[in-house]
Every structure is written in structure tokens, then in C-alpha cells.
Amino acid sequence: MLNDSTLKVQIGPSILNSDLSCLADECNNLVKNGADYLHLDVMDGHFVPNLTFGAPVVKSLRKNVGENVLFDMHMMVAEPEKWVQDMANAGADQYVFHYEASKDPNHCIRIVKEAGMKVGIAVKPKTPVSLVEEYADLVDVVLVMTVEPGFGGQKFMSDMMTKVSHLRSKFPKLDLEVDGGVSPTNVEQCYHAGANLIVCGSAITQNEDPAAVINQLKKEAEASFKF
């Protein structure tokens, strides 16, 4: 598999519920307060009912946030192959597409790599995680959704941790990401199951002290992440 180094716990705030009128400032503030990377949710109104932003916004953020900050693109879009080059040109670093949205995941993985980005594959709550096992050696990250994709602020689905623990047992060096309803009150479950990339949205962006929340998420890893 691609990631054969020691796994690192990293916190990637989702900017979905940030103040869109000053998004670059919001992003820079998250990085200043300890974010390891930024999670950007792209929704097309087709694969999921909500609509967010596309490549032009990403390009603008890239110019104003800095090249050293990893942009983790969560592509909740139909036909994810269509947007690969646009996102690469806009300055995206990692392109995570949904297994359910692609007719040919192998092809999508290949063209993301050819575009110079890291690649990930995501699964919705009702999708058996076994369906993405064949791609684990080809991708940089597998994203396990802990809510139904499409909207922020949903309740964390703890039963999804069985997917994470299953993948961790089979792929001990693979980056595993969780996204949806994660907060300091439940992140221990994520770490215990083996997730090392933690997407956290509202719990960080809606808090008056985002640095304290990020620090707490990282502190929980010291006791709970054993991989």
C-alpha cells in the first residue's frame, strides 16, 4: 500500500459550516489554531441533495491560504472523474471520491494520480466496507462516513466503527479517515477503532475557542490511538 510509514493522527477541520463571507480568513484561523489539514466538502446537488462550492473557490482559497496547507477534497459528486483535472488545476492536494458515485473506481484512482494528487475512496454508511477492500493498496486513504453525506451537523453513527476496525485489522498501515458528527465526546471511539485522520466540523468551527477543541481531539489520541 502507498502509506508504509508510521501512522500519524491528524485533525482536519471541515469548513462546510464556516462563515462563507470570509472563508479564507476562517481557513487560516483553523490552521493557526492547530489544524493539520483542511477538509473541503464539494457537493453537486445530484449525488447528495446539498450544493456547496467548486474549483473556482478552491483556487481562490489556494492563493490565500498557502501551498503548505493540505486541501483534502471530499468529492460528494456524481461522475467524480469529470472534476479531477479542474481540482488539480485549482490546487487541490488530495481527491477523495465516493465508491458509490464512480462506475469504474480503478479508472478514477488512476486519473487522480496522473493529475498529481493523492487519492482516496469514501463509503457511505449503508455501503459494505468490503466493497472497497480491493482498492486499499491503490489509494492513500479510505474515508468511512459516520453520517449520511450531504449536510453538516448530523449525529455521529457509532456503529460505523466496525467498518473502521475491520479495515484497520486488514490494512494496518493505511490512513483511515472518519467524517461526520465527530467531536471530543466520541472521538475516542474513532481512535480505538483505528481511525487516524479525524474530520471534525461544527464542533470546531462553531466553537469560540477552536484551538481548545483541536487540542482536546489530539490529546484524546494519546490515550486511545494504539496503532
Q: Is the pLDDT of residue 2 over 70?
A: no
Catalytic residue among 36, 44, 175, 179: 179
* Cα–Cα distance, 61 to 70 (Å, whole number): 11
Which tens digit of pLDDT belongs to each residue from 113-129?
999 999 999 999 999 99
Which tens digit of pLDDT belongs to each residue from 58-89?
999 999 998 899 999 999 999 999 999 999 99
Output the pLDDT for position 6. Answer: 79
Assess if residue 3 is contained within a domain.
no
225 pLDDT band, cuts 50/70/90, is: confident
Assess if residue 101 is contained within a domain.
yes
Give the neighbor-by-neighbor strand order of the sheet with 38-43: 10-13, 197-200, 175-179, 141-145, 118-123, 94-98, 71-76, 38-43
Output the pLDDT for position 182. Answer: 96
Assess if residue 5 is contained within a domain.
no
Q: Is the pLDDT of residue 227 over 80?
A: no
For residue 206, the enclosing domain spans: 10-224
Q: CA–CA distance from 83 to each of 88, 190, 201 (Å)?
A: 9, 30, 24
Q: What is the CATH number of the domain that holds 122?
A: 3.20.20.70
Inter-residue contact 44 to 78 (CB < 8 Å): yes
- Classified as helix, coil or strand, 130 is helix
Q: Is the pLDDT of residue 5 over 80?
A: no
Give every CB contact of residue 71 below 8 A, 6+ residues apart in sequence: 37, 38, 40, 58, 61, 62, 65, 91, 92, 93, 94
Q: Is the pLDDT of residue 3 over 70?
A: no
* Cα–Cα distance, 5 to 175 (Å, whole number): 10
* Cα–Cα distance, 132 to 142 (Å, whole number): 8
187 pLDDT band, cuts 50/70/90, is: very high
Output the pLDDT for position 1. Answer: 34
Catalytic residue among 41, 93, 140, 175: 41
Assess if residue 2 is contained within a domain.
no
Q: Identify the residue with better confidence: 36 or 151.
A: 36
Inter-residue contact 8 to 34 (CB < 8 Å): no
Output the pLDDT for position 67. Answer: 80
Query: Has 41 been annotated as catalytic?
Result: yes
Q: How many domains does the chain have?
A: 1
* Cα–Cα distance, 142 to 91 (Å, whole number): 21
Output the pLDDT for position 114. Answer: 98
Q: Is the pLDDT of residue 165 over 80?
A: yes
Its pTM stands at: 0.95
Output the pLDDT for position 223. Answer: 84
Report the number of secondary-structure helices (H) and strands (E) in the chain.
8, 8
Query: Has 209 been annotated as catalytic?
Result: no
Q: CA–CA distance from 101 to each of 44, 117, 223 (Å)?
A: 12, 19, 36
Assess if residue 1 is contained within a domain.
no
Assess if residue 4 is contained within a domain.
no
The rounded mean pLDDT for the chain is 94
Q: Calculate what percentage of the chain has a pLDDT beyond 90.
A: 90
